[in-house]
Amino acid sequence: MNMGMEVAYTEPDATRILIAEDSPTQRRIIKTVLGRAGYDVILAEDGIKAVSKAFYENPDLLILDIDMPRMNGYQVCRLLKDDYRTSHIPVILLTGRDQETDKFWGLKTGADRYVTKGFKLDGLADTVRELLAQTENEPRDAPQMETRADGGEQEIDVLTRVNDLLDRKLFEATIINEISKLNTISEDSSVTISSVLSVIAKVTDCYVGTVTLLDECEMIVHVHNPVGGTFFVEAKMRAMEAAVPYLPPGSSIKQIEVITDADPGFIEGENPECDAIRSIYTLPLNARGKNIAVMTLLSPRPDAFSEEIRRTMEIIENPACVVVDNARLHEGAMRLAITDGLTHLFNHRHFYELLEHEFQRTNRYMSRMALMMLDIDYFKKVNDGYGHQVGDEILKELAEIITGEVREVDVVARYGGEEFAILLPQTDTRQATAVADRIRRKVDERDFITPEGKIRITISVGVVSFPECAVENQVELVQLADAALYKAKETGRNKVIACGRTDEA
């Protein structure tokens, strides 16, 4: 046989191995080793021909040298692993490079094995056999390759594929960068998450995008195009249904709070183009081993979320998940910093910040505001007689009573111990006193159910308003409210005393 001719072994139905190696000697040696093991060997002397043959020969496994002319092994591996038609083919990098950095980069390009040429080539067949055994049960989507009219092999425009890969990687990197930059856009998680959905909507055919935060039972809805009222309502319901399998045990659709940034004009009336939801794509977002959210994209267009769009979503899933998770963790940390752990009301420090802000605003705009200080009567006897656990349950139930009797604009806080504070913007003394007495009566009439049985309690309330009570700052306002509360305690408890008034509620 003429040793200068590189003729492949051609056993019928043999496993096909493509070897890309620029050294004729190495090619012959590797071909001989694998041919003796019963493999059908295909040869390529550079990276360009390796890519071309990978497409029209459809081999079962590739062995690539790294240092080859025209296109090196790293580039060949990355190109083939990035194309869904060849990504299933196992790749062995067989090279003289033995540095850890080379191995790291080789595996990062998608290679399944990294083998240095210093090892005995007799072991190569075993490595091939082992890798093929591991991948034989994996699904394969082999491309249907065409041939020329004369029966010859179709030439693959490898450089075009390389350019397409570079364009796609640049596109993906740009999207990832745009999403990653949103990590610091806002302290409000809903604003951050809506911005993520906005970026995704720009690169997909998504009209409405949602992210349902599972532990928080919140759904952030971003509307990218005018869809009309019917489509908007249906989109929210379909997104909720998509999230149901991922909700924590005991949670339901009814508990999901919807937050949207929708332009009112986008969700009013009807849009003939959006007469039905024809495409929906759902993606669970996983962080630290658990599902934290579910992203759902909806479109009126059929087949809106093509295979290419789905591959793009797989690329941006991780950075999107990181931004969503960071947003919710940051907001959760902020919430913990300003919230009382027992009652889930604002704590003393944050309440004082809000009070200072409201006092300055009221003074600046010559408006009005009221402050209530509320305290449970003889609460020490409850703790001493029934235990602190019972006392804690009463504090939590009292917090619910108070929040149920005030407006959303009002601010309720646990001021300390059994004392609560309520800030009421745009409220005068008479109005605040009426609210305080309504709370007092609710408490007086309530049977607090505890493991120790029914318990009855009463409260005392001090009320002060500004500018009806002339004060210079919020500190003096708190002092007057405390004085009114002290007077209510001193004059019999279970009553409301307003600063500057002699009558009792």
Q: What is the pLDDT of residues 127-137, one digit of tens each?
A: 899 899 887 76
Task: Note the CATH number of domain 174-334.
Answer: 3.30.450.40
Computed over every residue of the chain, the mean pLDDT equals 87
**The tokens 């609210």 sit on which residue?**
435
Helix runs in 37-153, H state only: 47-57, 73-82, 100-108, 124-135
d(CA 62, CA 83): 15
User: What was the pLDDT predicted at 148?
Assistant: 39
Give the confidence band of 200 by pLDDT, cuts at 50, 70, 90. very high
Among all residues, which ones are annotated catalytic? 418
Q: Which residues of 328-343 are buried (b: 16+ CB within 10 A; e: fewer)?
A: bebbeeeeeeebbeeb
- Burial class of residue 286, CB neighbours in 10 A (0-12, 13-18, 19+): middle
Q: Are 57 and 51 in contact (CB under 8 A)?
A: no
> What mean pLDDT do residues 284-288 have?
91
Residue 477 has pLDDT above 90, yes or no: yes
d(CA 500, CA 505): 13
Where is average pLDDT lowest: 68-72, 196-200, 343-347, 472-476? 68-72
Most confident of 165-174, 402-411, 446-455: 402-411
Among candidates 86, 100, 96, which has minimal Cα distance to 64? 96
Residue spans per domain, the chain: 16-155, 174-334, 348-498
Where is average pLDDT lowest: 40-44, 325-329, 371-375, 436-440? 325-329
Among candidates 349, 482, 334, 494, which has minimal Cα distance to 419? 482
Most confident of 81-90, 105-114, 295-304: 295-304
Kindly report, residue by residue over 368-377, the tens digit of the pLDDT.
999 999 999 9
Residue 138 has pLDDT above 90, yes or no: no
The token pair that represents 61 in the structure block:
């496994």
Q: Looking at the domain covering 16-155, what would its CATH class be?
A: alpha beta
Instruction: Kindly report the backbone phi and psi dihedral angles of residue 15, in degrees, each rounded to the nearest multiple of 5, phi listed first.
Output: -65, 135
Give the confidence band of 333 by pLDDT, cuts at 50, 70, 90. confident
Alpha-carbon separation of residue 335 from 328, 412, 497 (angstroms): 10, 15, 33
Residue 146 has pLDDT above 50, yes or no: no
Residue 501 has pLDDT above 80, yes or no: no
Residue 393 has pLDDT above 80, yes or no: yes
Q: How far is CA 438 from the centre of its chain?
A: 43
Q: Can you list the positions of beta strands (E) in 319-368? A: none
Q: Which fold has domain 348-498?
A: Alpha-Beta Plaits (3.30.70)
